[in-house]
Amino acid sequence: MTREDSPFDARHSPIKIVTSDFPPTCVIVATNDTVIPPSQSRDLHARLVTLGVESIMVECEGMAHGEAECLPDAGARWLEEWWGQAIKPSLDFAIEKLRNR
């Protein structure tokens, strides 16, 4: 399997179900993800934007799929990288949406 291959059937891709009615979305891209190729996450974000759905994309440089939860030194690395690159921007986006309801 290459970095751009997915272990999942393409029929189950989220890109197939998004519509212009989709809720505001934060797409997190782990740049070293071998489970969900980063290109698929970027394509999802682009599709959402094309449909007029409010979407942001945050990229976690050097992170793999689920890496923050699995590393032996996850505590320190999680705080430095995962929190700053993915979790905080995602929460900020969600909080903004809730405040503007």
Q: Are 85 and 61 in contact (CB under 8 A)?
A: yes
Q: Are 59 and 29 a contacting pair, CB within 8 Å?
A: yes
Q: pLDDT tens digit string along 49-80?
A: 999 999 999 888 888 777 655 555 556 666 67
21 — pLDDT class (breaks 50, 70, 90): very high
Q: What pLDDT score was predicted for residue 93?
A: 87
Percent of the chain having pLDDT more than 70? Answer: 75
Number of H helices, E strands in the chain: 4, 2
Whether pTM > 0.85 for this model: the answer is no
